[in-house]
Structure 1
Amino acid sequence: MKNPISKWILGGLLLLFVGQALALEWRDSPALTQVFAQAGVPGTFVLYDVERDLLLGHDRTRAQTRYVPASTFKIAHSLIGLATGAVSSVDEVFAYDGKPRFLKSWERDMGLREAIKLSNVPVYQELARRIGLARMREQLAPLGFGNGQVGEVVDQFWLRGPLVISAVEQTQFLARLAQGRLPLSSAIQAQVRQISQLEQGDGWTLYGKTGWATSVKPGIGWWVGWLERDGRLYSFALNMPMEDLADANKRVELGKASLHALGLL
């Protein structure tokens, strides 16, 4: 039987994270509203300016609404896998079982370093089975990732629920990871930051992860991450309706347009 004291403590932590997110100052950004209007796409983009402790965004209601995280959970999932020892490093190879996959690029052996870039669902499902429900619940709650709910199916909860998270909560989780402030070893956090890196330029580095929740209608497309620029840190999260794989590029395109509109990229 689960320790009732531990359950109470974990529940208290989740309420604390939610309260902190709701207490942050929010400012509507006309520049972001114009980006979405020009694209003709409903959705939200929220930027957390860590230095100013300020949220800038478009569509506050949607930004505070929780959705299934889909593959954006791979960032937290990698942390948990390393913390539990279910995987020895981001380069430990997961063997391909020979079965047809949704994407041909998934049909080979690979470690988390490559699997997170290709959003390889079967690799992370195998990792989840290695971790198991008990350890997944124990490790997830202190991270402050959405509602922290794992349910009873260890290899589906981030794809179909009950795990849900808002765009605002995504920015808070990612800001803590970017600063090395999660309750995990600095080495583990550094490994996951490294495999989350997307691009680098003069004075800036961009990190992020896409996601596509197909278990809900309409589907939800995600792009979340953080930007380190000129010694300052900005975490961000975008979500939008997404019904077809052909719309996949719109997530990053709209997200980068939003960062550009804010003068950050």
Structure 2
Amino acid sequence: MKASAVTRSGGAQVRRAARGPAVEYAARAGFTARGVIYLLVGLLALQIAFGDGEHEADRGGALAEISEQPFGAVLLWALGIGLVGMALWRLSEVAFGAVGEDGRSAKKRLLSAVRCVFYGFMAYSVLTFAAGEGGGSNSSDQQSKDVTARVLELPAGQWLVGAAGVGVAIAGLWIGYRAATRAFHKKMKLTAMSRRARRVVDVTGVAGGVARGLVFAVAGVFAVRAAVDYRPDRAKGLDDTLRSLAGTPLGPWLLVVVAVGLVLFGVFSFAMARWRKV
């Protein structure tokens, strides 16, 4: 057999492995882990809205909440491993393309690369928390301020922070638009759902996605403000972003609405774990 034929055969085997059950299980475990985190963040935000929040409404607060439950350590390790699975699945999309007609396009591969890095960081923070190193317990607000302060010290730091803020805000608007237009239908096994399940997916996907997009957009605006004012303390993490919603003319009710939306996004993530095309 010629070397080129062996190479093609080996490449085909790798691609089949990337589409195999192991990668599929990894992706579905990742969606489940994401659902748990968003569900808890939404519930923590609801507690804050009603003046009874002991933990911050971000990933660190969610991890702290889990650690206080029976078998909390086991749950933390399971979440971390699930997020590793999500990162590996996104990495396989970078290498071999995603499902869909344009799954191998440069745009799709770039999006998968960004998501791979994002979920890789999430997995690292959860696993370091589970290992007792406290990596996941750091406040998202303090992390945002620290990172913003370091970037502002760089040459053209204000432009970098401002550009990042604009990017996050645009991403938030894009997430909300995609959710409102039910773009997720293309990625779901709709024919495998009952009519009731499809209604649940539509409600949780739209409401949850819009709420998630709003949070991203507001966080991006705060980052732009920090760049313009050259004040890293104006940058906000997830917890501060959610709390800022309670300071609007609508009062805590806007926070309640967004918090419920994040809970629904957690439920939607569970639906993705069940019916997402992988």
Q: State the TM-score, normalizing by the size of structure 2.
A: 0.29
Q: Relative contact order (alpha carbons < 8 A, sep ≥ 6): 1 or 2 greater?
A: 2
Larger Rg: 2
Which one has a larger percent helix, Structure 1 or Structure 2?
Answer: 2
Which one has a larger percent strand, Structure 1 or Structure 2?
Answer: 1
